[in-house]
DNA sequence: CTAGGGTTAG
């Protein structure tokens, strides 16, 4: 069995000198210790795989243990990390030829409950015995059962093992990962024990999670005093601790002063900068690294996604593949999020097939990313398929699916899912309720929405946030209950924000209530004087109700305030390439063909009764010019381009940054009929599925 | 017993 390398080889792989300091190779690369393996339960043999794959769950049926990976464990033995059926994780489970009947095995054939019971009993009865046989602290530190953890802790205390040992403190600090970890650390100091290089990484993770910055900082002082701050792991922990909390300059200083660094040190910095939206520096760190690993690439990909620069995220991803770095599940989560933002269905599908082909398990993270991608790319059905195939669903997966259906106007199904979720024992949180309320809005279910709002407060004790009020205002206003919406705004406990007034105004626009719209807009302009959408909307309302002078007034106000209208921008994916169109943009290489196509389209839809609807063009310009501006709206360009670049009958999907204007909406409906195409347009807030002259939004958006 | 990257809503 190829366990381990000789010392020379190991040293060669471990580190090399880079600019005066040591660069340590990560454990994940090139070391046989982490080579994946599998256990053949039938004859009790264990084989190592040489392809370096690990963390591939393998059924370890005869013992009820799933092995995550096996690795060389010194001469003659093998270590394993696995997970028991109970969800109890095993670490450093020593497997040698005669020890595959360790105490855990005896509990393997029991049903779940008794399993964890007997497990805890055997722990309590023979702690010292277990200590010798199965890396006891590893067991504690991975213990996923809080109750069991408490039992262990009590047992450790009474047996006198805890008070005198840093070792057990460390394991417990890691296992708790909460405020308890910080008290355990205090306990350790009170006892006069000296924390070691393992203590600080565990402790700091807790300090980041709680969060407890002062405790973290004083730990740093202590680590310095003990001379531990130069330890690679300890220093990395502090770099990470600072990065997470947004203190990148402190992190940077630690990185610059460190004697030994590895990828981890840099990776924390990348995500630290990215978290602050400083992608320039994130990239700089990334480029500075002597070597990058999967984590570095993933951090860069998701950094770009979080910064709203999804196109660059996909570029980084292809660069990653070009350099031969294999993406893992976390990378793909980021890539999927990028696809979702861009509406890049083809690339999203590619990721899906990639993870199928590489046997990556659809985790809750991957699952929700996939569902979200499919929903946002306009294919709710494929999202549902992923959803139905997932075995373990958490709140996030459910919420993503519910929200996805709501986005598509499939409110009833979304609500059905919501009650199924409640039935399966998952407790909805505030965000889940936003999804449910959205579903009510899109399905026009006013009563149901009121009931959900109440049950959120009464049954679940969730205090409604401003977003929930936003949903309710939207729901009421959309359905013409404008007065009730206004009253709700007046009695809500917080100051209404722009979204609230915006929802009211959208309702006013649809139900043609100019007075209330003006009332809403006054508040809106106060809140967001620089936001162009507000002026445009009010101008549209004026224009639509024939008050052209007022509309012009708005235009002048915008000029005076120096507000620029956000240009409309549409994306369309053709053969895996995302094409971008900006309103009036003539830079596309095929712009001539596109405009010619538009002429043809216009001719054909005019036969169907199309008359340009210029009401929403509020600029005070000549009538013909208005038509011209209208015909160059970005979604019209994008659809015309899609019509000439795809075969007959193929679906078209467009992603737009603003709301669809009334004229474009009408035009798209007609195109879907005349050209027999299904056209999906995702605008700022929802989906429009145009099919045979009808839109799924029922003309309210 | 050590570490670093991740999903929804707004």
Q: How far is the CA of A33 from the C1' of B3 (A)?
A: 17
Strand partners, A689: A680
Coil/strand/helix, residue A90: strand
Q: Which of A242-246, A603-607, A659-663 has the weakest average pLDDT?
A: A659-663
All residues at 6 or more sequence positions from A661 whose CB lies less than 8 Å from its CB, including other chains = A616, A633
Which nucleotide comes closest to A399 if you measure CA to C1'? Answer: B8
Q: How far is the CA of A402 from the C1' of B10 (A)?
A: 16
User: Phi-psi category of A575—alpha, beta or left, where left has phi over 0 and alpha has psi -120 to 50?
Assistant: left
Which nucleotide comes closest to A141 if you measure CA to C1'? Answer: B1
- Confidence at residue A525, expressed as pLDDT on a 0 to 100 scale: 77
- A149 pLDDT exceeds 80? no
| Chain B footprint bases within 7 A of protein beta carbons | 1-10
- Confidence at residue A279, expressed as pLDDT on a 0 to 100 scale: 94
- Confidence at residue A608, expressed as pLDDT on a 0 to 100 scale: 86
Q: How far is the CA of A305 from the C1' of B7 (A)?
A: 12
- Which residue is closest, via its CA, to the C1' of B4? A264
Which nucleotide comes closest to A137 if you measure CA to C1'? Answer: B1
Which domains, from first to last, does chain A contain?
465-565 (1.25.40.10), 569-695 (no CATH)
**What does the pLDDT look like over A309-343, one tens digit per residue?**
999 999 999 999 999 999 999 999 999 999 999 88
**% pLDDT > 90, chain A:** 34
Q: How far is the CA of A183 from the C1' of B6 (A)?
A: 29
Q: How far is the CA of A84 from the C1' of B3 (A)?
A: 25
Q: How far is the CA of A325 from the C1' of B3 (A)?
A: 20
Query: In angstroms, rounded to a whole number, what is the distance separating the alpha carbons of residues A298 and A10?
Result: 27
- A47 pLDDT exceeds 70? no
Q: What is the signed CA dihedral for A571, A574, A576, A577, rounded to 10 degrees?
A: -60
All residues at 6 or more sequence positions from A119 whose CB lies less than 8 Å from its CB, including other chains = A84, A86, A88, A104, A107, A148
**What does the pLDDT look like over A460-496, one tens digit per residue?**
999 999 999 999 999 999 888 989 999 999 988 988 8
Q: Are strands A65-72 and A569-574 parallel, antiparallel or unpaired?
A: unpaired
Q: To the nearest whole number, what is the mean pLDDT of chain A?
A: 76
- A421 pLDDT exceeds 80? yes
- Mean local confidence (pLDDT), A499-512: 83
Which nucleotide comes closest to A685 if you measure CA to C1'? Answer: B10
- A127 pLDDT exceeds 60? no
Confidence band (pLDDT; 50, 70, 90) for A139? low
**What does the pLDDT look like over A170-203, one tens digit per residue?**
888 888 888 989 999 999 999 899 998 889 999 9
Q: How far is the CA of A29 from the C1' of B3 (A)?
A: 15
Which nucleotide comes closest to A466 if you measure CA to C1'? Answer: B10
Coil/strand/helix, residue A133: helix
- Which residue is closest, via its CA, to the C1' of B6? A330
- Which residue is closest, via its CA, to the C1' of B2? A198
Confidence band (pLDDT; 50, 70, 90) for A397? very high
CA triple A593-A596-A599, angle to 5 deg: 155
- Confidence at residue A616, expressed as pLDDT on a 0 to 100 scale: 58
- Confidence at residue A97, expressed as pLDDT on a 0 to 100 scale: 27
- A299 pLDDT exceeds 90? yes
Q: How far is the CA of A74 from the C1' of B9 (A)?
A: 49
Coil/strand/helix, residue A432: helix
Q: Which of A61-65, A183-187, A361-365, A419-423 has the weakest average pLDDT?
A: A61-65
All residues at 6 or more sequence positions from A123 whose CB lies less than 8 Å from its CB, including other chains = A130, A148, A151, A152, A155
Which nucleotide comes closest to A236 if you measure CA to C1'? Answer: B3
Decide: residue A318, CB within 10 A, 0-12 exposed, 13-18 middle, 19+ buried.
exposed
Q: How far is the CA of A67 from the C1' of B4 (A)?
A: 23
- Which residue is closest, via its CA, to the C1' of B9? A431
Q: Which of A122, A63, A121 lies closest to A93, judged by CA?
A: A63
Q: Which is higher by pLDDT, A349 or A60?
A: A349
Q: How far is the CA of A45 from the C1' of B3 (A)?
A: 32
Which nucleotide comes closest to A169 if you measure CA to C1'? Answer: B1
Which nucleotide comes closest to A204 if you measure CA to C1'? Answer: B3
- Mean local confidence (pLDDT), A643-658: 86
- Mean local confidence (pLDDT), A270-278: 93
- Confidence at residue A95, expressed as pLDDT on a 0 to 100 scale: 34
Which nucleotide comes closest to A333 if you measure CA to C1'? Answer: B6
Query: In angstroms, rounded to a whole number, what is the distance separating the alpha carbons of residues A582 and A589?
Result: 14
Decide: residue A268, CB within 10 A, 0-12 exposed, 13-18 middle, 19+ buried.
buried
- A264 pLDDT exceeds 50? yes
Which nucleotide comes closest to A240 if you measure CA to C1'? Answer: B4
Q: Which of A110-119, A248-257, A544-553, A654-663 has the weakest average pLDDT?
A: A110-119
Quickly count: other Cβ atoms within 10 Å of residue A599's Cβ.
Answer: 11
- A40 pLDDT exceeds 80? no
- Confidence at residue A17, expressed as pLDDT on a 0 to 100 scale: 35
Confidence band (pLDDT; 50, 70, 90) for A453? very high
Q: How far is the CA of A234 from the C1' of B9 (A)?
A: 36
- Confidence at residue A11, expressed as pLDDT on a 0 to 100 scale: 38
- Confidence at residue A143, expressed as pLDDT on a 0 to 100 scale: 60
Coil/strand/helix, residue A21: strand
**Residue A393: which H helix or E strand, with range?**
none
- Which residue is closest, via its CA, to the C1' of B8? A400
Q: Which is higher by pLDDT, A254 or A120?
A: A254
**Cis amide leading into A165 (omega within 30):** no
Handedness of CA A336, A338, A343, A348 (dihedral sign): negative
Q: Which of A18-32, A214-228, A351-365, A428-442 has the weakest average pLDDT?
A: A18-32
Q: How far is the CA of A230 from the C1' of B2 (A)?
A: 14
**What does the pLDDT look like over A74-111, one tens digit per residue?**
222 333 444 343 333 343 333 322 233 232 222 222 22
- Confidence at residue A433, expressed as pLDDT on a 0 to 100 scale: 95
**What does the pLDDT look like over A217-258, one tens digit per residue?**
999 999 999 989 888 889 999 999 999 999 999 999 999 988
Q: Which residues of A205-241 are buried (b: 16+ CB within 10 A; e: fewer)?
A: bbbbebebeebbbebbebbeebebbebbebbbbbbbb
- Mean local confidence (pLDDT), A544-571: 76
Query: In angstroms, rounded to a whole number, what is the distance separating the alpha carbons of residues A594 and A40?
Result: 62
Which nucleotide comes closest to A94 if you measure CA to C1'? Answer: B1
Could you list the beta-strand ranges (E) of A594-686.
652-656, 679-682
- A121 pLDDT exceeds 50? no
- Confidence at residue A441, expressed as pLDDT on a 0 to 100 scale: 86
Q: How far is the CA of A428 from the C1' of B1 (A)?
A: 36
- Which residue is closest, via its CA, to the C1' of B7? A365
Q: How far is the CA of A32 from the C1' of B6 (A)?
A: 27
**What does the pLDDT look like over A511-537, one tens digit per residue?**
888 888 888 887 877 777 666 667 777
Contact A492, A465 (CB under 8 A): no
Which nucleotide comes closest to A173 if you measure CA to C1'? Answer: B1
All residues at 6 or more sequence positions from A515 whose CB lies less than 8 Å from its CB, including other chains = none
Q: How far is the CA of A341 from the C1' of B2 (A)?
A: 37
- Mean local confidence (pLDDT), A148-155: 72
Q: Which is higher by pLDDT, A700 or A307?
A: A307
């Amino acid at each position: 069995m190829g366990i381990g390398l000789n010392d020379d080889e190991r040293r060669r792989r471990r580190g090399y000198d880079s600019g005066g300091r040591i660069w340590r190779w990560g454990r994940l690369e090139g070391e046989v210790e982490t080579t994946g393996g599998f256990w053949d339960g039938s004859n009790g043999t264990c084989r190592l795989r040489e392809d370096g794959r690990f963390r591939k769950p393998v059924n370890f049926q005869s013992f009820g243990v799933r092995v995550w990976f096996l690795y060389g464990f010194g001469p003659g033995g093998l270590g394993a990390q696995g997970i028991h059926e109970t969800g109890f994780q095993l670490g450093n489970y020593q497997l040698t030829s005669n020890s595959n009947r360790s105490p855990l095995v005896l509990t393997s054939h029991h049903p779940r409950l008794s399993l964890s019971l007997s497990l805890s009993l055997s722990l309590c009865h023979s702690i010292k015995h277990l200590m010798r046989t199965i890396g006891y602290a590893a067991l504690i530190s991975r213990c996923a059962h809080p109750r069991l953890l408490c039992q262990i802790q009590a047992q450790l205390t009474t047996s006198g093992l805890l008070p005198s040992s840093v070792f057990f403190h460390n394991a417990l600090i890691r296992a708790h990962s909460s405020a308890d970890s910080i008290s355990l650390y205090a306990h350790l100091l009170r006892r006069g024990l000296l924390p070691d290089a393992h203590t600080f990484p565990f402790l700091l993770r807790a300090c980041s999670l709680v969060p407890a910055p002062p405790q973290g900082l004083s730990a740093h002082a202590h680590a310095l005093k003990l001379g531990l701050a130069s330890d690679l792991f300890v220093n990395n922990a502090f770099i990470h601790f600072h990065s997470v909390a947004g203190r990148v300059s402190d992190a940077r200083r630690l990185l610059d002063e460190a004697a030994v660094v590895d990828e981890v040190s840099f990776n924390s910095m990348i995500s630290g900068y990215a978290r602050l939206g400083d992608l320039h520096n994130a990239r700089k760190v990334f480029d500075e690294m002597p070597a990058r690993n999967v984590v570095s690439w993933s951090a860069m990909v998701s950094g770009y996604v979080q910064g709203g620069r999804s196109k660059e995220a996909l570029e980084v991803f292809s660069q990653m593949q070009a350099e031969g770095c294999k993406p893992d599940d976390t990378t793909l989560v980021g890539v999927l999020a990028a696809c979702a933002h861009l509406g890049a269905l083809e690339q999203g599908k590619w990721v899906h097939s990639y993870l199928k082909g590489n046997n990556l398990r659809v985790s809750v993270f991957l699952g929700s990313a996939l569902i979200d991608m499919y929903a946002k790319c306009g294919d709710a059905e494929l999202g549902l398929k992923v959803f139905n195939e997932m075995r373990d669903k958490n709140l996030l997966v459910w919420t993503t699916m519910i929200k996805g259906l709501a986005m598509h106007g499939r409110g009833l199904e979304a609500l059905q899912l919501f009650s199924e979720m409640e039935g399966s024992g998952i407790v909805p949180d505030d965000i889940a309720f936003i999804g449910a309320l959205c579903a009510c809005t899109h399905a026009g279910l006013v009563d149901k929405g009121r009931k959900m709002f109440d049950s959120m407060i009464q049954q679940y004790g969730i205090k409604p946030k401003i977003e929930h009020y936003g949903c309710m205002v939207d729901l009421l206003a959309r359905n013409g209950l404008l007065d009730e919406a206004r009253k709700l705004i007046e009695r809500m406990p917080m100051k209404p924000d722009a979204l609230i007034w915006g929802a009211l105004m959208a309702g006013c626009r649809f139900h043609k209530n100019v007075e209330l719209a003006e009332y809403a807009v006054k508040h809106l302009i106060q809140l967001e004087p620089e936001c162009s959408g507000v002026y445009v909307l009010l101008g549209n309302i004026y224009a639509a109700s024939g008050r052209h002078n007022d509309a012009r007034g708005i235009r002048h106000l915008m000029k005076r305030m120096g507000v620029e209208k956000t240009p409309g921008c549409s994306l369309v994916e053709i053969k895996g390439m995302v094409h971008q169109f900006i309103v009036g943009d003539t830079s596309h290489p095929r712009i001539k063909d596109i405009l010619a196509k538009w002429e043809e389209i216009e001719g054909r839809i005019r036969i169907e009764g199309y008359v340009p609807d210029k009401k929403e063009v509020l600029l005070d310009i000549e009538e013909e010019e208005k038509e011209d501006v209208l015909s160059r709206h970005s979604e019209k360009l994008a659809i015309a381009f899609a019509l000439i670049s795809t075969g007959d009958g193929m679906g078209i999907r467009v992603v737009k940054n603003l709301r669809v204007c009334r004229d474009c909406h009408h035009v798209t409906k007609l195109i879907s009929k005349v050209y027999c195409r299904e056209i999906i347009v995702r605008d700022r807030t929802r989906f429009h599925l145009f099919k045979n002259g009808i839109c799924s939004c029922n003309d309210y958006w």
